[in-house]
Amino acid sequence: MTLPLYVFDAYGTLFDVHSAVARHKALVGPQAERLSELWRTKQLEYTWTRSLMGAYRDFDALTEEALDFAAARCGGLSPEAREKLLAAYETLDAFPDAAPALKMLRERGAKTVILSNGTARALARATASAGLQDLLDDSLSADALGRYKTAPEVYELVGARYGVTPDQVSFQSSNRWDVAGAARFGFRAIWVNRAGAPDEYRDLPPARVIASLAEL
């Protein structure tokens, strides 16, 4: 069955979160890969802990704080490197399979929508810089709620906007925790497991596991 609404996580699914550091690897130095991993890990940790505490700060602020933590753990960054990394995060590279998959789905008559923790401003800039803006019908941001995924209210944004039931939504994410949250909510959750990572949250399985968005 072809579902009419395909909803995508943005960071890590459509956009390569490690492309920011990859662009400036020489400037960052020998701990570039470690810094990139720590940056992403702390960014996600901050979204979960702040949602639980009820102490919301937007995704842009948390991204900046996470970079500062990662830099401190990796021996520091020059002001120039910090500035360039934060700017690069606003214009991340899209994964090579993103645009072809979105184009294919739209040719089938499906709607394509982002549901992200990112702010509306950041998502608009990211989609434009990656050349995806004409392949997406909409971008929905958790910032409207002041909470982050995996809060059910964030997934409910899709139904509120489009008047669909959860089982009418195909939700794609490379983040297994996000897939678990979407499955729990009732979406047809697709895990885009590009890295061949081991499974987790086995009581909340994905409807499908794919290695590339080309498999949609």
Active site residues: 9
CB 206 within 8 A of CB 179: yes
CB 39 within 8 A of CB 21: yes
Exposed (0-12), middle (13-18) or buried (19+): which is 54, by Cβ within 10 Å? exposed
Helix (H, G, I), strand (E, B) or coil at 173: strand
Place of tokens 């979160």: 17
**Rounded to a whole number, what is the distance in angstroms from the first to the last CA of the chain?**
12
